[in-house]
Amino acid sequence: MSFRFKQFFIEDSKCAMKVGTDGVLLGCWCPTPHLTLDIGHWRILDVGTGSGLIARMLMQRCPEANVEGIDIDAAAIEQACENGVRAFQARLQDWQNDKSQITNYKYDLIVSNPPYFQNSLKNPDEGRKAARHTDTLSYEELVKHSARLLSEGGQLALILPAESEAEIRQIAGAEGFILTHATRVYSKETKPARRVLMSFSRDTGISEYRYTEDTLVLENEKGGRSAAYSELTKDFYL
């Protein structure tokens, strides 16, 4: 199926996980690398890129940055490349893990809409199972290898189920990350939080920092997009 955004199209027919609200939210919400960096030298990695949606959104937001995507699924990588993303079939655990390679470099931003079902019934479709379950990439592995790949001052941005917030905070803290911003996402004001958007800093030299948190409600009283959601996505949704 093809999805049209203001500046690009995304085709996801070959991907196990389709274009959805979570990816759009993360692509709009995530911080961009620190402005003190030369924009032409920014490096961004989208982990579990799928169709390349989040990577394409960041290519729009940071047009001079080097944006890459990785995924374990060959069909997804083929699709991401067709969608204009520089993408590679690889596990995060193995990505640039060969210290003998002189081409290894650090990233200024890593983003991921990771697998999140940990103990639920497995889908019989292998591609969809890998995309949805943490068997192939646990939270611990995601955080540990993001720490390995990020530059000093680099940032990690994630979207996760709301019930995973405490767990990911503990894991990230153990790896030396500092939580800088969290946004809890509600489908409606009357329902519990559905997702949480979180950004962490790799700047271990920070002695004082400002942590902020807020909320985002997706639907208004009539069932349409809320004003806040429309404002967040205004550069992408038609």
Are the C-beta atoms of residues 117 and 134 closer than 8 Å to each other?
A: yes
Is the pLDDT at 35 greater than 80, yes or no?
no
User: What is the per-residue pLDDT across 130-151, written as a single tens digit (0 to 9) for each?
Assistant: 444 446 899 999 999 999 999 9
Q: What is the pLDDT, as a whole number, of residue 234?
A: 98
205 pLDDT tier (thresholds 50, 70, 90): low
Q: Where are the domains of the chain?
A: 2-176
Convert the chain into a string of H (helix), E (strand) and C (coil): CEEECCCCEEECCCCCCCCCHHHHHHHHHCCCCCCCCCHHHCEEEEECCCCCHHHHHHHHHCCCCEEEEEECCHHHHHHHHHCCCEEEECCCCCCCCCCCCCCCCCEEEEEECCCCECCCCCCCCHHHHHHHECCCCCHHHHHHHHHHHEEEEEEEEEEEEHHHHHHHHHHHHHCCCEEEEEEEEECCCCCCCCEEEEEEECCCCCCCCCCEEEEEECECCCCCECHHHHHHCCCCCC
206 pLDDT tier (thresholds 50, 70, 90): low
Q: What is the pLDDT averaged over residues 19-32?
A: 96
**How many beta carbons lie within 10 A of that of residue 46, not counting itself?**
31
Q: Which of 90-94, 124-128, 137-141, 191-195 has the lowest mean pLDDT?
A: 124-128
CA 21 to chain centroid, in Å, comes to 12
pTM of the complete model? 0.89
**In Å, what is the CA distance from 195 to each residue of 34, 43, 208?**
25, 26, 27
Identify the CATH number of the domain defined by range 2-176.
3.40.50.150
Q: Which of 23, 155, 129, 22 is nearest to 72 (CA)?
A: 129
Residues in CB range of 27: below 8 A, 6 or more apart:
53, 54, 56, 57, 58, 61, 111, 236
User: What is the per-residue pLDDT across 41-77, written as a single tens digit (0 to 9) for each?
Assistant: 789 999 999 999 999 999 999 998 999 999 999 999 9
CA distance linking residue 109 with residue 157, whole number of Å = 8
Strand partners of residue 178: 201
Q: Which of 68, 56, 69, 52 is nearest to 8 (CA)?
A: 56
Burial class (CB in 10 A: 0-12, 13-18, 19+), 14: middle
Q: What is the pLDDT, as a whole number, of residue 68?
A: 97
